[in-house]
Every structure is written in structure tokens, then in C-alpha cells.
Chain A
Amino acid sequence: MREITYQQAATEAIQEEFRRDPHTVYMATDGQADLQSEFGEDRVRVTPISENCFAGAAIGLAGSGFRTIANIRMATFGFVAMDQMMNHAAKITYMFGGQAKFPVLYRMTVGAGISAAAEHSVSPYSMYMNVPGLKIILPATPYDAKGLLKTALRENNPVVSFEHILLGGIKGEVPEEEYFVPFGQASIRRQGSDVTVVALAKMVYDAMAAADDMEQEGCSVEVIDPRTLVPFDAETVRDSVKKTGRLVVVDEACQTCGAAAEIIALVTADDATFAMLKAAPARVCGLDVPVPFSPPLEKYAVPDKARIIEGIRGVMSKAPAGR
């Protein structure tokens, strides 16, 4: 199968859907030449640096029968557009009693790793998870970037796509023929029997590398990539934990009130899964600090393979509870 980059895969999804539906609009502060040349300046607009305004314009377009992509670029800029995304996009379907549909796709990059310092490095998905009305996707591979964005562009609800800054250039297999990746369906990236590792975004790759190393030690690691956070495929995670009895959730976002905490709660609050636990679940998350600039500081603040291995060893070292 052909290999293309994550970014190319994402663009293909947009191109296919824009060709199919002329009532589509793309807005971003930087022009994307390939989209603009194909679909024209009317539909592919370079916006002023007014994130809140074009995040809101996307809502007005959606309420007027158009489907809109607002590319906010970095998730830290998304904070500037919080009024429109949180107060309006997330709520208006509900607040207006479901009388209109709001197909809006907000794209943002997340993550640390390029020495961009605190105001250009953040993974704030749990903040969005706490606001009902948004669907949240977290594609980790080129295949999923295309398939999830295709699904997002057929959705009749606001979708937020968080795309890790370090993944844009990675290559992967992407079919030529059309396909969709459904929301709420996790992917088991690696089968294992001793411990379940749920990893988010770029952490999927670090978790896979950690699993390889653990294999050498005779520890069989199952790695799950949830792919979408809202809706979240709790079933797949619970089934895995029922099998392994151990859970580690890996997320580079800050630990406090993060997605990892919610994922653990979804597992432990389920009696049938709780009964099968052999050790308390563990989180391997970003430190509760703003992401620092200097490489040794930044590297220290974000989980890596070594820290994931440490986390796995931690849950493996605990003896099964005597029950």
C-alpha cells in the first residue's frame, strides 16, 4: 500500500469531502495553497488573526447550511477562541432544542517536543471533554487522520480534532480507495496479556516502543489507542483490562483532571472490570507544569519511553490483591 504523511492524509480527507459537497468552507490564518487553488478563495479563506471571530463565523455558516473547517492551528490559540467554541458551538444544538445542526470542524495541533515553550505547547483535550456538545478526535496515524477527518466532515455536530505537532510529517499506509474511521472505536495497536496501556496521540508510539522493550523482559503489553475521546470506547479498554488485570494510561497532557483520570474512572467504576484488577491503575502523564522551553526541561516535563516503562513496571510489581 502507498505511504503518505499524516498531513497529506488530512488534506486528502478535506479535498475528497470538499469535492463532494460544495457547501463547505475552510478558514485558517495561513493559506493552504493546494486547497485554495482547487476550491477558490471564496471557500478557502485566509483569516485575520481573529481566532474567536472565525471560530464563531464557522458556527454562523453551519447554522446557515454550510459545513465549515476552522483551522485554529495551535491549541494554545484555541484558548483565544474559547468563547465561541465552549459557550456557543458546544451548546447551541442543545440550547436551541435541536432545531438546527452545526457541522463545524475545529482543527488544532497539540503537544510538546519542538522547544516551542509554554504558549505554543499544550494538550488541553480534557478541558474540552468537560463541555458536553463537542466530539473530540485524536488521530495518531496517517490512516486515522484521513479516516477520522472524513467521518468528522460527515458529522452534523461540532468536532474538535487534536493533531499532535510531531505527527504531521510521519508516514504511514493510507489506502487509495475511500474509507472512514468511525468515532468511538478504539484501535488495539498491539495485543498483550499482562498489562493494558492506553496511550493518547503521539504517546501511542512511545508506548509501542516501551512494549517492545518490555517484551524482552517477558512482559506482554497490550497497547490501545482510543482514537476518539468523545465518544470514548470504554468497552474495548474494559475488555482488555478484564484480560490483563492491569492498566497504565499514558498522556502527555498535565496529569491533574486529565483524560487519563477519566479513562481510569471509566474502568474502575465498572464493577465487572474492577473485580478483575490485580493492581491499582497508574497514570503516566505530563508534569503539572507549563511546558518549558529548554530541551532538558521540556524532555523532563513530558513522558517518554523510559517513564512509560517505569509505569508499567510499577503496576507489574504489585502483587495481586488477595481476593
Chain B
Amino acid sequence: MVPDRQTLIELYTTMQTIRRFEERVAAEFFAGAIVGFVHSYIGQEAIATGVCQHLSKKDRIVSHHRGHGHCIAKGADLKKMMAEIFGKKTGYCKGKGGSMHIADFSIGMLGADGIVGAGLPIATGAAMAAQLERKGNVAAVFFGDGACQEGEFHEALNLAAIWKLPLLFVCENNHWAVNAPASYSLAAGNITRMPEAYHIPSKAIHGNDVEAVYRAAGEAVEMLRRGEGPCFLECETYRLHKHFLSDALEDVRPHEERKAWAEKDPVTSFETKLLRQDVLTHADIERINEEIMERVEEAHKFAIDSPYPEPQDALEDVYSK
């Protein structure tokens, strides 16, 4: 499944939108304008982008604490995202969720969970819904190497396998669970050995290569739509920030390792490739980036101009009517 020119441009635009959005969020965080925990998706953009390119609004995804990229790739509104991250009333969750809990059910983005691994069982339910609807829809769940250490991961693999659920497992292996390396925490070694144990077809790919992700996800989603059961992609990647944005948090990852991965930056490397292959010119890149920056700026302005919730709004939405 080779992406055509238009798709390549869309992939680039989505990745760069995530990058610029996340850069702005980080800048605002370190300037003190954003509070709480913010887990930056910078460095992992190719994965959400390459997977979601194959999904429609009727397909559902479940995200995790590092979830801004999944929202953007699924088509979420930058303004409502930024407002939520700023804790404003106009945000996706009226300021009740923040960075870690953005959801947009109208586009099949079933939310981000702050508990590592917890999205996996929820995604099995989204996949059951797709299976019961019989319209060829699918579900995808994003999680990291850290989630593979949770029991919920194994339960979800098992459940998806025995019920042949149309669920795409997307493991974003960024090699570090906060400051513990996967090489220490995962006895299985290769992550794909775990889905294999449950007879789930799997593939390990370079998660910073958006075309590789696009191809592998495309094949997997086709299998899911045909009702052949779940698939598993392990996408090797690296977060370029610490576990969460913080001056205080220690980062024990070796300097050389960080440097090596920074050179494999998924956004700049793809940009270089598109220029080299004459898919885009420098002028195109400039124009696309200007448009993105304008959207990010607009989102920021919307967040800043929006009111905070009234304190007593804390009492609303505990229950649905």
C-alpha cells in the first residue's frame, strides 16, 4: 500500500500540525501558562498520523496519556483541544479533563486515559461495537511499551483474539516507561512475541517512518475490515521530551541515545525526503507551515480568550441525564 502524492502531503501536514501544536503547548507550559501534567507527543508523530490516515470518523480509537497526537490525527479541533489544555470552559471537556483526557466522541476519538494500559480493555469494547454493527468499522488502540507490562494488555490481547475483534493494537515502543528501560522491564524481549503468543498477526516497524507506518497500518486495517480478527503493530520510536514536561523531572536516558534518535526525527526526515523526491518544494513547505502556524495561533488565541469554568461548574456532569 503505497501512498499517492496527495496522501504524502496529508501525512506531512498532519505530522507537522502535531509537531507545531506540541511545540506551542510546551512553550506555554514552560512559560507557566499551562498547569498539570503534559505528556508531549513530539518524536512519535508518524505513528498516530500513519494509522489514522486509514480511519474514518466511524472507526473508533482509544488513546493514552500522551494523546494529543492521536486527537489531531483523528481530526480533532485544535481550538477545543488547546482550550481544554488551558482548563477553559470551551475545551472539549469543559476544563474537567485537561491534557491527559481529551476526547471527541463525534469523530470516534473515545478519549485518552491516564492509567497506563487502561485504554486496552475499553478498546476491546469499541471493537465489539464495530463487530456487532457489521458495517466493516474497526477500532484502534494506542499504547506504549509500558502498557505491555500491565495485566490489562494481556487480557485485551486474549479477549480480542478469542472473539476475533476488529481491533488494531498500536504499540508505540518509545523504549522508556518514565525512567525504566523496556530492555529491563520486558522479559519477552521483542514485544511482538506477546501478540504472537495469542495468535495475533503482528509486525514490528520503524515508527518514525510515516510511510512504513502508513503501509503496515493500511494492510492491517484491511484485514480488520474483512473480519479476520485483530492485528498488532509495534512501532519503534522515541519521545524527544521527558516523560512529561518538567524542569524538575530527571531524565536518565543516555545522551548518545537521545542524540541518535533526535537525528531520526520523524517530521524533519520526512520533510527532507519529500523535498528530495520533488513531492514538495521549499515554497510548498513554507506555505503548509504558515497555514499550520496560523491554526495553532488561532487555537491559542481561542484558549486565551475563552473564560474559565465557573467554580460551581465542578458540580455538573458527574452523571448524564
Q: B30 in the interface, Cβ–Cβ < 8 Å?
A: no
Q: B294 in the interface, Cβ–Cβ < 8 Å?
A: no
Report Cα–Cα, A37/B29, bound state, in Å: 56
Binary interface encoding of chain A residues 38-67 relative to chain B, with 1 for a CB under 8 A from any of its CBs, else 0: 000011010110101111111111111110
A-B contact count (CB 8 A): 151
Q: A283 in the interface, Cβ–Cβ < 8 Å?
A: no
Query: Across the interface, which residues of A come within 8 angstroms of B130, CB to CB?
Result: 64
Q: A87 in the interface, Cβ–Cβ < 8 Å?
A: yes
Q: Which residue of B lies closest to A57 (CB)?
A: B125
> Which residue of the partner chain, among A52, A94, A97, A99, contacts B151 with CB atoms under 8 Å?
A52
The minimal Cβ–Cβ distance linking A29 to chain B, given in whole angstroms, is 12
The minimal Cβ–Cβ distance linking B310 to chain A, given in whole angstroms, is 14
Q: B278 in the interface, Cβ–Cβ < 8 Å?
A: no
Q: A96-B93, A132-B318 are in contact. Are A56 and B118 (CB under 8 A)?
A: yes
Q: Which residue of B lies closest to A104 (CB)?
A: B125
Report Cα–Cα, A34/B237, bound state, in Å: 49
Query: Across the interface, which residues of B come within 8 angstroms of A71, CB to CB?
Result: none
Query: Across the interface, which residues of B come within 8 angstroms of A84, CB to CB?
Result: 118, 121-122
The minimal Cβ–Cβ distance linking B313 to chain A, given in whole angstroms, is 10
Binary interface encoding of chain B residues 272-316 relative to chain A, with 1 for a CB under 8 A from any of its CBs, else 0: 000000000000000000000000000000000000000000001
Query: Across the interface, which residues of B come within 8 angstroms of A12, CB to CB?
Result: none
Q: Which residue of A lies closest to B95 (CB)?
A: A97
Report Cα–Cα, A24/B118, bound state, in Å: 23
Cβ < 8 Å to B, chain A residues 1-51: 23, 25, 42-43, 45, 47-48, 50
Stretch from B4-12, B155-163, B183-191, B255-263 contacting the other chain: B155-163
Does B320 lie within 8 Å of A50, measured CB to CB?
Answer: no
Does B318 lie within 8 Å of A52, measured CB to CB?
Answer: no
Does A156 lie within 8 Å of B321, measured CB to CB?
Answer: yes
Contact-size category for A: 35 or more
Cβ < 8 Å to A, chain B residues 62-101: 62, 91-97, 101
Q: A60-B126, A97-B91 are in contact. Are A52 and B121 (CB under 8 A)?
A: yes
Does A95 lie within 8 Å of B101, measured CB to CB?
Answer: yes
Q: A83 in the interface, Cβ–Cβ < 8 Å?
A: yes
Does B121 lie within 8 Å of A99, measured CB to CB?
Answer: no
Cβ < 8 Å to B, chain A residues 62-104: 62-66, 68, 83-84, 87-88, 92-102
> Which residue of the partner chain, among A60, A87, A133, contacts B125 with CB atoms under 8 Å?
A60
Does B159 lie within 8 Å of A54, measured CB to CB?
Answer: yes
Does A64 lie within 8 Å of B118, measured CB to CB?
Answer: no
Query: Across the interface, which residues of B come within 8 angstroms of A95, CB to CB?
Result: 93, 96-97, 101, 111
Q: B120 in the interface, Cβ–Cβ < 8 Å?
A: yes
Contact-size category for B: 35 or more
Query: Across the interface, which residues of A come within 8 angstroms of B121, CB to CB?
Result: 52-57, 59-60, 84
Q: A150 in the interface, Cβ–Cβ < 8 Å?
A: no
Binary interface encoding of chain B residues 175-211 relative to chain A, with 1 for a CB under 8 A from any of its CBs, else 0: 0000000000000000000000000000000000000
Does A59 lie within 8 Å of B125, measured CB to CB?
Answer: yes
Query: Across the interface, which residues of B come within 8 angstroms of A97, CB to CB?
Result: 91-97, 317
Q: A157 in the interface, Cβ–Cβ < 8 Å?
A: yes
Does A96 lie within 8 Å of B97, measured CB to CB?
Answer: yes
Does A157 lie within 8 Å of B320, measured CB to CB?
Answer: yes
Q: Which residue of B lies closest to A41 (CB)?
A: B163
Query: Across the interface, which residues of A come within 8 angstroms of B93, CB to CB?
Result: 95-97, 99
The minimal Cβ–Cβ distance linking B103 to chain A, given in whole angstroms, is 4
Report Cα–Cα, A88/B105, bound state, in Å: 16
> Which residue of the partner chain, among B101, B115, B126, contacts A83 with CB atoms under 8 Å?
B115
Report Cα–Cα, A66/B321, bound state, in Å: 16
Q: A164 in the interface, Cβ–Cβ < 8 Å?
A: no
Q: Taking A57-B125, A84-B121 as given, write out 14 further A-B residue pairs in contact, using a Cβ cutoff of 8 Å, ordered by the A residue number.
A: A42-B132, A50-B158, A61-B129, A63-B125, A83-B118, A84-B118, A88-B115, A92-B111, A97-B91, A97-B92, A97-B96, A97-B317, A99-B92, A100-B103
Binding site for B on A (CB under 8 A): 23, 25, 42-43, 45, 47-48, 50, 52-66, 68, 83-84, 87-88, 92-102, 132-133, 135, 156-157
Can you pick out 13 interface pairs between chain A and chain B where the beta carbons lie within 8 Å of each other? A55-B121, A57-B128, A59-B122, A60-B124, A60-B129, A62-B125, A88-B118, A93-B320, A94-B317, A94-B318, A96-B101, A97-B95, A97-B317
Task: Please give me the 7 A-B residue pairs with the lowest Cβ-Cβ distance, nearest first.
Answer: A60-B125, A56-B121, A64-B129, A97-B93, A53-B155, A98-B317, A57-B125
